[in-house]
Structure 1
Amino acid sequence: MPHDFILFDLDGTLSDPQLGIGRSINHALERHGFEPLLPDAVPRYIGPPLDESFRVITGRHDDGTIVALVAAYRERYGDIGYAENQLYPGIPEALQRLAEAGFPLGLCTSKRRDFACKILAMFKLDHLFRFIDGGEIGMHKWQQIAALREAGRVSESSLMVGDRAVDLIAAHRNGLSGAGVLWGHGSRDELTAETPRYLWQQPADIGATLAFAPQP
């Protein structure tokens, strides 16, 4: 079945944000009297909504604390953290190949939209995307995709590409196909448990699979 639109996650899919996210999480935790995360604990919090991550990390569920933590995180991330980001090798070529093959591309990230725009502009990839959709506190990725479907920007023929189970769950809940990528922060077991239509080992696999597929 051809795909009429390719929807990409950002963190762990197009770029590795671990350094900036980890430092910004710890900036927020330490400002509000919590113990910082060790570096090897950071990857599990890359992908899910930020407010959910802070609830898990701190064990706190009162909205005031969570809002304050998110604000402190965003203060550092917006100034410094977004730039502490590494583009995965082969991603620009994969995206360019899809664009040249005629596939419209979009971005759907739990990250705030203005941060996502800054990152894509930093990597000179923003011109390849028809739109950039970002999340807010309390919003799940499945709700973002539902809104995109309601607005007619994606359809059940579209494909969601991401590195975490949350990306595949969001796609399937809205009737889209999902593709998992193994160079990000989600494990093979995490991804295969959600039965992705495709599971890719490296960015070059995206174009090899899709670029010459017939389009609707």
Structure 2
Amino acid sequence: MNMHLLGVALDMDGLLFDTERIYFQVGQVLLQRRGHTFTLELQQKMMGRIGLSAIGQMIEHHRLDDDPVSLLAESDVVYGELLLGELRPMPGLEEWIGRLKNSGLPFGLATSSRRKFVDQILPTTQWANDLAFVLTGDDVTHGKPNPEMYLKAADRLGVSPSQMLVLEDSGNGAKAAVSAGAVTVAVPNEHTQLHAFEDVHLVADSLADRRLWELLPSKSDVS
């Protein structure tokens, strides 16, 4: 398999950064203002979906009468206020990025997050300039679990989806990658460990899992 992998696509929320914790706080704020409670069950429904689709899950779940566009705007304000102060890398992130760079494979970001938030997060890293592409929720019509994001990622890499390794932390994201035909590895976090990860190649313990690292070729293999 190593010889067939020609590129890598990475999710961001819950995989590279512990933003799911921030999203949970945002959900709590929004729903407390409306006399409801944000639950893990609702968070699972929203994960991986792009802006209005995620907000639609919240509205449907609690039968809110809010306008989706207005509620999304309110959500953006709360998230933006929390983001940089609460942002934390996931365990093993820097080591994994180093291993990726040493592999010689091009790699990029395929996240459901809005572009404006990605543009705040990436400058805090040392590897933003190493990304071959950045796809956000603003770049697709259909969010995860639809495969559109990863079909576009393969196109940006110039490879077949079957030659692309995808890392995802959520069931919706993993389903999108599997449906696109990518070699999919699930890296669950505390919020997604009970998700179903059907047909993935591997369920890794973390970004530091050596089984994940062993999927990558060496630079000599790539050249």
TM range, smaller chain: 0.7 to 0.9
How far the C-alpha of 1:164 sits from its partner, in A, is: 1.2
Which residue of the partner structure matches residue 164 of structure 1?
170
Matched, 1:75 2:77: yes
Going from structure 1 to structure 2, the CA distance change for 1:48 and 1:101 (only over 3 Å counts) comes to same
Distance of 2:86 and 2:96 partners within structure 1: 22
How far the C-alpha of 1:215 sits from its partner, in A, is: 3.3
Distance of 1:9 and 1:158 partners within structure 2: 13
Please give the root-mean-square deviation of Cα atoms over the aligned residues, in Å: 2.9
Paired AA for residue 74 in structure 2: A
Deviations 1:36-93 (A, max 9, x none): 415x557524433343333333327899711111111112222333542211121111
How far the C-alpha of 1:210 sits from its partner, in A, is: 1.6
Distance of 2:154 and 2:36 partners within structure 1: 40
Matched, 1:202 2:210: no
How far the C-alpha of 1:30 sits from its partner, in A, is: 4.6
Going from structure 1 to structure 2, the CA distance change for 1:56 and 1:27 (only over 3 Å counts) comes to same
Distance of 2:76 and 2:84 partners within structure 1: 10
Unpaired segments of 5 or more residues in structure 1? none
Paired AA for residue 155 in structure 1: S
TM-score scaled to structure 1, two decimals?
A: 0.82
Aligned length: 212
What does 1:10-89 align with in structure 2 at a 5 Å threshold? 10-30=12-32, 33-38=34-39, 40=40, 43-44=43-44, 45-59=46-60, 65-89=67-91
* Helix, strand or coil at the partner of 2:174: helix
* Helix, strand or coil at the partner of 2:119: helix
How far the C-alpha of 1:18 sits from its partner, in A, is: 2.9
* Helix, strand or coil at the partner of 1:86: coil
Going from structure 1 to structure 2, the CA distance change for 1:125 and 1:46 (only over 3 Å counts) comes to farther
How far the C-alpha of 1:13 sits from its partner, in A, is: 0.8
Distance of 1:188 and 1:23 partners within structure 2: 20
Which residue of the partner structure matches residue 142 of structure 2?
139
What does 1:80-119 align with in structure 2 at a 5 Å threshold? 80-119=82-121
How far the C-alpha of 1:143 sits from its partner, in A, is: 1.8
Paired AA for residue 103 in structure 2: A
Going from structure 1 to structure 2, the CA distance change for 1:150 and 1:97 (only over 3 Å counts) comes to closer
TM-score scaled to structure 2, two decimals?
A: 0.80
* Helix, strand or coil at the partner of 1:190: coil
Question: Is the 2:59–2:65 Cα contact (8 Å) retained in structure 1?
Answer: no
Going from structure 1 to structure 2, the CA distance change for 1:61 and 1:130 (only over 3 Å counts) comes to farther
Which residue of the partner structure matches residue 129 of structure 1?
131
